[in-house]
Amino acid sequence: MKKLVKMLVSSAIIASMAFVATACNGGSTATTTTAAPTNGETASTDAPAPAGDELIKVGIINNDPNESGYRTANDRDMKATFTKENGYEASFFYSLKNEEQIAAAQKFIQDEVDYLLISAAGTSGWDGVLEQAQKAGIKVILFDRTIDADESLYEASIVSDMAKEGSQAVEWLASQNLEEYKVVHIQGVMGSAAQIGRSGALNDKVAAEANWSIVTQQTAEWSEETAQQIVQSVIDSGEKFNVIYAENDNMAKGAAAALDKANISHGVGKDVIIIGFDCNTWALEELLAGNWNYDGQCNPFQASYIDDIIKNGAKQKVVIMDEKGFDAKTITADDVAKYGI
């Protein structure tokens, strides 16, 4: 029945297949690989399938694993869970571009996967492809990031509360009771849930408080190198600032490198406060050493939740990951060992 339904909708998406061929950067259709993932890559393990069990076919759409330490950990967690040994035939696609992810989802629908697992690069534009999946009898589970779509179009959502992450960081910053806040704001990929959530809290605070201002607000698209260039440009301009608010650890690292180059002190009791997000182990070690001030956790370990939903059904529509914020003055070595990724 499922195949019959999909034959009826395949004509609606066949035009998209030509686009996938180009949008996926010539992605491979191999089913076994041990190489580092690239756009369009399909991956599975060499482990034998469980005897007598039919594999659950999943198409997993994620952001580039090289985007950050968080994303590397997230991708590793997904690959460790969705294996033949655990009852799955998994194919992976990676891109930081929403349109390429949507095209890949259309290709997975054409390939008749049982489940689509999506960490969306952008929040908008997903309704059409989710409707196609629903008509084809394919269940959709969102992970890591939310999208702007009706909840009826997906089975469940296992996500971080990016707005809460931003609010926790801004509340911590406000608790430092500075006379004035002159913030260099380094944003992630524009339109992503992480960028929207982490930017929103800061923007609201700056709009509400007379002694808060943004010196510059630019996207580094999660890049350490670009973040360093942004901060270097501000230093060269002579504009004064006392806070770096970077929307991931890599960009905070790049910002710190620019400060070091200019002999500007940063961290606990120093000239510039540094805030990052994700809680990479090396970033938490920067807090422990007093070189950074705050790091907001973004929990990448969502695969076990998805596995449970697929095998036992969704008990709730939205699962929010438990996440913390760490202060350099109170973080411990045990925190680094327990929460670092």
Please, are residues 115 and 137 in contact by the beta-carbon 8 Å criterion? Answer: no
The residue ranges of DSSP E strands in the chain, in sequence order, are 56-62, 88-94, 115-118, 139-144, 156-159, 181-187, 212-219, 243-246, 273-278, 294-297, 318-320, 325-327
pLDDT value at residue 84:
97
What rounded mean pLDDT belongs to the chain? 87
| pTM of the shown model | 0.73
**Which tens digit of pLDDT belongs to each residue from 256-301?**
999 999 999 999 999 999 999 999 999 999 999 999 999 999 999 9
pLDDT, average across residues 222-243 = 97
Domains of the chain (ranges; CATH) run 34-160+300-321 (3.40.50.2300), 163-296 (3.40.50.2300)
Sorting pLDDT into bands at 50, 70 and 90, what band is 41? very low
